[in-house]
Amino acid sequence: MTDHSNALFQPFMLGDIPVTNRIAMAPLTRNRAARGTDAPHGLNATYYAQRADAGLLISEATQISRQGQGYIWTPGLYSETQVNGWKQVTDAVHAKGGHIIVQLWHVGRVSHVSLQDDGAAPVAPSAIAAKTKTFIETGFAETSMPQALDQAGIDAIIGDYVQAAQNATRAGFDGIELHAANGYLIDQFLKDGTNTRTDRYGGSVENRARFGLEVVDAMLKVFPAKRFGVRISPVSPANDAVTSDPAEVFGYFVAELSKRGIAFIHVVEGATGGPRDVAPFDYAALRRSFKGAYIANNGYTRAMAIEAVAEGRADLVAFGRPFIANPDLVARLRQDAPLNTVNPATLYGGGAEGYTDYPALAA
Ligand code: 8OZ
């Protein structure tokens, strides 16, 4: 049998981002931005710097505006304080020789009036409530009934994405991942269970993909395509977003993204954080239809990741939960060392405990 165990440790050009190995840290919501400003701070810089051996760090989902926030204490990238906070993070990662991109996020309907300016209703393609919970200052809460966006609202959000892309450059990020997965705003437009519009943003596959592609096109006017990627989750039911036609709508969306020459797609295969076989889907066909790189995610073990890269099914593999509990995950995968397990009680919110205090292997 061929020994492929080196496959994860070969360098790669992810568009214009040089990565030293095929291991990405997946975006992970941790709700530890500074209270009041939602800006990253020193503790967050320490956390990312501890994990800087990953070929690519993808930041936790980061809202482009206050309207785009759906959970308490998630970081933003729309105020000067947030730009400066992220600069501390990117400086700390770069000092260790790592690369970090920012995942930009608008949650759409997955929000709560207490997180919105003036207690406004969250926005969405259509006024359909998500059967999913968010967490606010007082704990878990039902998401609020959203209002359907009009054209002015759509245009304003596209403007917020562009501003956030410009801020990403100022904050020192090596690239951007646009969050179009997991039932948030762009995914809400793509999927017919969450988009019942009858205008140019709803109905056909082309219409449902229009919003996401307009966002991409606007961002690519101010940010290089070779440092830009998009995360999708075609069959994930996360946040109550489902579609009757995942092959058609994601096939079209990815083919259009390919035409734009972006660096990568990042695909949540199966149900986010859950079963990979939740619904049939031809990920290999998606990969063939896209000329950039393919980052695979969801439930990969070391053996699965080695095989996927060695067989060419993925260029990088993103690990989520293993990176929470193992700051030195890359070294552990290299040595096939045992992994620490995640403490679920310290995932969301809090301080250093369960964040920067997971032990590395003894030297
Ligand atoms: C877990 C908790 C809150 C948000 C995602 C940004 O699923 C998230 C998220 C995950 O993409």
**Mean pLDDT in each 10-residue stretch from start to end of the chain (363 residues)?**
80 98 98 98 98 98 98 98 99 98 98 97 98 94 98 98 99 99 99 98 98 99 99 98 98 98 99 97 98 98 97 98 98 97 97 98 82
Q: What per-residue confidence (pLDDT) applies to 314? A: 98
Residue 267: inside a domain: yes
Is 33 domain-assigned?
yes
Which of 59, 182, 239 to probe ligand 1 with, by most ligand atoms within 8 A of CB?
182
Whether 362 is in a domain gets the answer no
Is position 360 within any domain? no
In a domain, 21, yes or no: yes
Domain that residue 87 falls in: 7-346
> Does residue 97 form part of some domain?
yes
The predicted pLDDT at position 299 comes to 97
Output the domain CATH number for residue 248: 3.20.20.70
Task: Give φ, ψ of 18 to 5 degrees.
Answer: -80, 120
pLDDT of residue 5: 73
Question: What is the secondary structure of 97-151 as a DSSP string?
Answer: T--EEEEEE--TTS--GGGSGGGPPPEESSS---S-EEEETTEEEEPPPPEE--H
According to DSSP, the β-strands at 133-136 and 23-25 are unpaired
Q: Cα(28) to centroid of ligand 1, in Å? A: 7
Mutation probe of ligand 1 site: the residue of 25, 28, 29, 32 with most atoms within 8 A of C-beta: 29
pLDDT reported for residue 132:
96
- Determine the pLDDT at residue 363: 66
Instruction: Estimate the crossing angle of helix 151-170 against helix 80-95, to 10 degrees.
Output: 40
Distance CA 85, CA 72 (A): 17
pLDDT in the model for residue 362: 85
* pLDDT value of residue 4: 73
Does the residue 358 lie in any domain? no
- Out of 71, 161, 184, 252, the active site residue is 184
Cα(279) to ligand 1 centroid in Å equals: 21
The whole-number pLDDT of residue 2 equals 59
Number of domains in the chain: 1
Residue owning the nearest CA to atom 5 of ligand 1: 182
Residue 58 lies in a domain: yes
